[in-house]
Amino acid sequence: MSRSISIFGLGYVGSVTAACLAQLGRKIIGVDPNPLKVDMLQAGKSPILEPGLEDMIAECHRNGSITAITDASEAVLNSEISFISVGTPSQRNGKLDLTHVEKVCRDIGTALRAKKSFHWIVLRSTILPGTTENVVIPILEATSGKRAGYDFGVCFNPEFLREGTAISDFFEPPFTVLKTTHVYNLQSLRELYEWAPGDLFETTPATAEMVKYVCNSFHALKVSFANEIGAICKHLSVDAETVTKIYTSDTRLNISKAYLTPGFAFGGSCLPKDLRALTYRAKELDLKLPLLENIMPSNNEHIERAVEAILRVGKRKVALLGLSFKAGTDDLRESPMVQLAKRLLGEGCELKIWDKNVSLGQLIGSNRQFIQDTIPHIGQLLSDNLDTVIESAEVVVVGTKAVDRQQLAAKLRSVQTIIDIVNVGKPAEVNQMAAYAGMCW
Ligand SMILES: NC(=O)c1ccc[n+]([C@@H]2O[C@H](COP(=O)([O-])OP(=O)(O)OC[C@H]3O[C@@H](n4cnc5c(N)ncnc54)[C@H](O)[C@@H]3O)[C@@H](O)[C@H]2O)c1
């Protein structure tokens, strides 16, 4: 555990990483262009305010495990791994500003020219998918005159610490994600994290970069959701804390993986109706709930993406498999598949529809009423014979999980295109049988 690590960027992430890795037995060289931060670390003081960090850095100073400099070359030549934790702020228009990442890559690349041994560059700054491959590696290769994967390795390893609890978050990450374009010498990176609890994911390029954005977007979404729920509870004189305690106690549907897999739009007799009722009530109370109000528009946009994907094929004869709002039910009320059918008819498509659970003759009550009000002529398009529905189609839209994909593959012809909007998956035979496109996969 004596390998040296240089850490570029001595802000929140860099300083915490430096102290924690030093405590794990690594020799750390901190690098920052700001001499004030370097001087503080050299004097055994923390450049940032974070509970517990001052003491850790003082201890590292005493045992000589952390030094800090402003010279990138010296740091690269005296370490085997360089962590990059420089800032990636927003530009005025929201675009990611990569100025510091680009500069630090030029500094490290230039230093690599004089380096004889293999060197790892581990990016911890938050960067958009594709940045490692399209920005970081090209700059490092151009400035070093060397090749990634041969003379040096590049890995993206997102950081999940939160300010205020950064040290315990560092030592107890929910998981560790390593992404490298080249697997050469990956063992030395695995060793870096062999102490870490949680799963180690070694992913494909861009996935690791995306995971960080998904985590932060999800955190932000949850905070805003909780606050909007709190606000409407307050306006309705309902105790938000009790509501929260009860709904978060459901770990089967609420605080779980449920509803978190990309698929098709939601629908049915409850979700749209209840969202509308709640947001309408908020409007009556002059309460703005932009997050809740925009869920239905977001859902409709997803249906539009399906329409676009189908029209993009450029063929008009379309087979829709599935009509009810989810597999295993004949409930058509507010089914996104019914909305999709309407939109496609409006675009001039010739539709044939199959759903093994839906027989118009058997629909009763509000279910029958909904279809009469929404799309009364659908009966002429609906068939219970899957073969005849697929036979004449140029595009087959899989909109239900109640279809056997191998059976489906056996019925398809090579001229047909499958658009899978519910993620039943690509049948093995489909390569020879037909073209396949998924909505989000
Ligand atoms: N702050 C957090 O809680 C947190 C958590 C996880 C990930 N991140 C991500 O980590 C990255 C760093 O965040 P931060 O909050 O530590 O930033 P920060 O602004 O606190 O620190 C960045 C440091 O980088 C230094 N720097 C700039 N150019 C440099 C260069 N060429 N060489 C060396 N150092 C250079 C700056 O002087 C500064 O000290 C960002 O991409 C951020 O999104 C932050």
Alpha carbon distance 321, 213 (integer Å) = 34
Pocket test for ligand 1, best of 28, 32, 177 (most atoms within 8 A of CB): 32
Closest ligand 1 atom to residue 31 Cα is 33
For the residues 367-379, what does the mean pLDDT come to? 81
Pocket test for ligand 1, best of 86, 90, 99, 156 (most atoms within 8 A of CB): 86
In sequence order, which residues have a C-beta less than 8 Å from that of residue 330 and are 6 or more positions away?
324, 355, 357, 358, 359, 362, 363, 367
What digits encode the pLDDT tens for the residues 3-33?
799 999 999 999 999 999 999 999 999 999 9
Q: Considering only CA atoms, which residue is closest to atom 44 of ligand 1?
A: 13
Q: Considering only CA atoms, which residue is closest to atom 35 of ligand 1?
A: 9
Q: How many whole angstroms from 84 Cα to the centroid of ligand 1?
A: 8
195 is written with which tokens?
């102490």
Residue 287 phi, psi dihedral angles, 5° rounding: -110, 125
**Residues paired with residue 419 on neighbouring β-strands, in sequence order:** 397, 437
Question: Are the C-beta atoms of residues 304 and 437 closer than 8 Å to each other?
Answer: no
Residue 351 phi, psi dihedral angles, 5° rounding: -105, 145
The predicted structure's pLDDT at residue 425: 84
Residue 429: pLDDT over 70: no
223 is written with which tokens?
């905070």
Q: Which residue from 170, 169, 190, 171 is spatially nearest to 180, judged by alpha carbons?
A: 190
Is residue 270 part of the annotated active site? The answer reads yes
Q: Considering only CA atoms, which residue is closest to atom 30 of ligand 1?
A: 104
Alpha carbon distance 132, 157 (integer Å) = 11
The predicted structure's pLDDT at residue 408: 86
181 is written with which tokens?
């374009």
For the residues 421-427, what does the mean pLDDT come to? 87
Burial of 293 (0-12, 13-18, 19+ CB in 10 A): middle
Average predicted confidence (pLDDT) for the chain: 93
**Residues paired with residue 122 on neighbouring β-strands, in sequence order:** 83, 155
Alpha carbon distance 391, 411 (integer Å) = 8
The percentage of residues in the chain with a pLDDT greater than 70, rounded to a whole number, is 97
The predicted structure's pLDDT at residue 297: 98
Residue 403: pLDDT over 90: no
| b (16+ CB within 10 A) / e for 139-151 | bbbebbebebbeb
The predicted structure's pLDDT at residue 101: 98
Q: How many whole angstroms from 147 Cα to the centroid of ligand 1?
A: 26
Alpha carbon distance 341, 336 (integer Å) = 9
Q: How many whole angstroms from 223 Cα to the centroid of ligand 1?
A: 24
Alpha carbon distance 441, 439 (integer Å) = 6
Residue 268: pLDDT over 70: yes
Q: DSSP letter at 261?
A: S
Among the listed residues 20, 270, 349, 440, the single catalytic one is 270
The predicted structure's pLDDT at residue 138: 98
Alpha carbon distance 73, 56 (integer Å) = 27
What digits encode the pLDDT tens for the residues 275-287?
999 999 999 999 9
Q: How many whole angstroms from 6 Cα to the centroid of ligand 1?
A: 14
Q: How many whole angstroms from 389 Cα to the centroid of ligand 1?
A: 57
Q: Which residue from 409, 268, 393 is spatially nearest to 318, judged by alpha carbons?
A: 393
Q: How many whole angstroms from 160 Cα to the centroid of ligand 1?
A: 13
Residue 314: pLDDT over 70: yes
What digits encode the pLDDT tens for the residues 57-98?
999 999 999 999 999 999 999 999 999 999 999 999 999 999
Closest ligand 1 atom to residue 100 Cα is 28
337 is written with which tokens?
């598949």
Q: Report strand pairing: 152-156 vs 175-180.
A: antiparallel
Confidence of residue 184 (pLDDT cuts 50, 70, 90): low
Long-range contacts (CB closer than 8 Å, 24 or more residues apart) made by 402-410:
402/322, 402/327, 402/328, 402/355, 402/356, 402/357, 403/321, 403/322, 408/321, 409/433
Pocket test for ligand 1, best of 5, 6, 10, 12 (most atoms within 8 A of CB): 12
Q: Considering only CA atoms, which residue is closest to atom 5 of ligand 1?
A: 161
Distances (CA, A) of 432 to 412, 427, 435: 10, 10, 8
Alpha helices for 153-239 (secondary structure H): 166-171, 187-192, 207-235
Alpha carbon distance 309, 329 (integer Å) = 26
Q: Which residue from 325, 56, 47 is spatially nearest to 171, judged by alpha carbons?
A: 56
**Residues within a 6 A CB radius of ligand 1:** 8-14, 31-34, 37, 85-88, 100, 103-104, 107, 124-126, 159, 161-163
Q: Considering only CA atoms, which residue is closest to atom 20 of ligand 1?
A: 11
Q: How many whole angstroms from 11 Cα to the centroid of ligand 1?
A: 5
For the residues 149-162, what does the mean pLDDT come to? 92
Burial of 95 (0-12, 13-18, 19+ CB in 10 A): exposed
What digits encode the pLDDT tens for the residues 222-260?
999 999 999 999 999 999 999 999 999 999 999 999 999
Alpha carbon distance 69, 42 (integer Å) = 8
Q: Which residue from 85, 70, 77 is spatially nearest to 18, judged by alpha carbons?
A: 85
Question: Are the C-beta atoms of residues 108 and 76 closer than 8 Å to each other?
Answer: yes
Q: Answer with the residue of higher pLDDT: 266 or 359.
A: 266
Q: How many whole angstroms from 137 Cα to the centroid of ligand 1?
A: 19
Q: Considering only CA atoms, which residue is closest to atom 11 of ligand 1?
A: 125
What digits encode the pLDDT tens for the residues 185-208?
678 888 889 999 999 998 877 999
The percentage of residues in the chain with a pLDDT greater than 90, rounded to a whole number, is 77
Alpha carbon distance 241, 239 (integer Å) = 6
Q: How many residues does the chain have?
A: 441
Pocket test for ligand 1, best of 16, 53, 82, 85 (most atoms within 8 A of CB): 85
382 membership: H or E segment, kind and range:
strand 382-383
Question: Are the C-beta atoms of residues 157 and 179 closer than 8 Å to each other?
Answer: yes
Q: Considering only CA atoms, which residue is closest to atom 36 of ligand 1?
A: 9
Q: How many whole angstroms from 88 Cα to the centroid of ligand 1?
A: 7
The residue assigned the tokens 């977001």 is 298
Closest ligand 1 atom to residue 163 Cα is 3
Per DSSP, the three-state class of 437 is strand
